[in-house]
Amino acid sequence: MRCNIIKILMNTRPQFLERGKAMFNSKKVRNKKLQGTYRKDNIHLFLFCLPAIILVTIFGYLPMPGIWMAFTEFRFDMDLFSRPFVGLDNFWVFQTPVLFRIIRNTIAYGMGLMILGHIAAIILALLLYEVRNKKALKFYQTSYTIPNYMSMIIISYLTYIFLSPTNGLINSFLEFIGQDRINLFTMPMAWIIILPIVAVWNGVGLQSILYYASLMGVDPELYDAAKVDGADKLKQIKYISLPSIMPTFSILMILGMRNVLRGDFGLFYAIPRNVGLLYPTTDIIDTYIFRGLRAGNFGATTAVGLVQSVVGLVMILLVNAIVKKVSPGSELF
């Protein structure tokens, strides 16, 4: 009996093998067809990403060999990899007397502007979510996002219209009400308020659209159920709206941590107009690097930029790990 079963299995084995190969080949062909269909259906998405990929490749990866400049003596008559190696000598900038000032300003503005910007964007998104008129909603969204696409040079001229010590709108108003004129370009402490106002006004519109998109994904029945249970508007925001935008908030915060040591150069250079009296509250690492480039300290400025990039990468990894542990599923990667 046992021998007969073994003979039957041996005789049918080739048939099973052929059938298995046929099934495997058909599955393989089906997967290839599905992959081809996926690529064909999503070709517009790949084309949409292509400009960003090209820009990152050109301006992000191709210049990376220039990092070597931070460890060599800069000389115009020699190429990058033929210059004398000086080790960490170019990192003398971290012993400069103004180091504490520029790092303090960079970190304080970086953290402060990031927090203020997100708070303002969330509030604006919650307000826009309550607008039911589509035409009014489009008008508000467009007007709020226009500053984000304006050059910081244009914004600097707009702010100067208000802050000019001679013909500025603020001084004209003070003169109209019988008060003395003020020169804000000689008052460093005033820029602790001026710069955040300009920065939030410039970027709040685009950030609010991201939060508004998250709110649009919330099931309206949740709000209806909350109304039936007697929840007022504030409770609906607290228990429905805010939790729904927390994943977006986490991702934007993680991405924003890379800029803690990298401020907006246009904001801190063009708006204060590079006035030396304002350096105590407007000078950051990026403006200091720019002045170093103008003085020809290419090795030292490259060293500072390298430290900025490394610290930014570490901050992203650290914050992402914290978010992953505190709120699983909200992390970036």
Nearest to 266 by CA among 202, 331, 174, 185: 202
Q: What secondary structure letter does DSSP report for 239?
A: I
Q: Name the maximum alpha-carbon separation found in the chain.
A: 117
pLDDT of residue 13: 47
pLDDT tens, 31-62? 555 555 556 667 878 888 889 899 989 988 88
Tell me what the mean pLDDT of segment 221-237 comes to.
Answer: 87
Report how far residue 305's alpha carbon sits from residue 279's, in angstroms, rounded to the nearest whole number.
Answer: 20
Question: Does the pLDDT value for residue 170 go beyond 80?
Answer: yes
Give the angle subtended at the CA of 327 by the CAs of 325 and 332, to the nearest 5°. Answer: 85
- SS3 string, 76-140, reads CCCCHHHCCECCCHHHHHHHCCCHHHHHHHHHHHHHHHHHHHHHHHHHHHHHHHCCCCHHHHHHH
Tell me the domain boundaries of the chain: 1-56, 70-326
pLDDT tens, 73-118? 888 778 878 888 888 888 877 777 788 888 889 889 989 999 999 9
Hey, what are 95's tokens?
């012993």
Question: Does the pLDDT value for residue 271 go beyond 90?
Answer: yes
Give the angle subtended at the CA of 253 by the CAs of 249 and 255, to the nearest 5°. Answer: 120
Residue at token pair 């080949």? 25
Give the angle subtended at the CA of 212 by the CAs of 211 and 213, to the nearest 5°. Answer: 90
Question: In one letter, which amino acid is 16?
Answer: F
Report how far residue 304's alpha carbon sits from residue 67's, in angstroms, rounded to the nearest whole number.
Answer: 11
pLDDT of residue 119: 93
Hey, what are 247's tokens?
């994943």
pLDDT of residue 30: 53
Tell me what the mean pLDDT of segment 150-164 comes to.
Answer: 91
What topology does CATH give the domain 70-326? MetI-like fold (1.10.3720)
| pTM to 2 decimal places | 0.76
Nearest to 116 by CA among 207, 55, 35: 207
Burial of 161 (0-12, 13-18, 19+ CB in 10 A): exposed
Q: How confident is the model at residue 123 (pLDDT cuts 50, 70, 90)?
A: very high
Question: In one letter, which amino acid is 45?
Answer: L
Distances in whole angstroms, Cα of residue 31 to Cα of each of 22, 25, 35, 111, 314? 14, 10, 6, 48, 39
